[in-house]
Amino acid sequence: MRPGIALIGLLVCLLSGIWIIGLGLPAEAATTERVVVNRFTGIAIEGFDPVAYFVDGRAVKGNAEFEANLWGAVWRFRNEGNRASFLAHPEIYGPQFGGYDPADIARGVTIAGNPRFFTIAAQRLYLFSREANRDAFAANPERFLYEVGKRWPALQEQLSQ
Q: Enumerate the β-bridge partners of residue 121.
A: 124
Is the Cβ–Cβ distance between 78 and 49 less than 8 Å? yes
Q: What is the pTM of this model?
A: 0.78
- Specify the pLDDT at position 113: 97
What digits encode the pLDDT tens for the residues 28-77? 343 346 789 999 999 999 999 999 999 999 999 999 999 999 999 999 99
Rounded to an integer, what distance in angstroms lies between the CA atom of residue 79 and that of residue 67?
A: 9
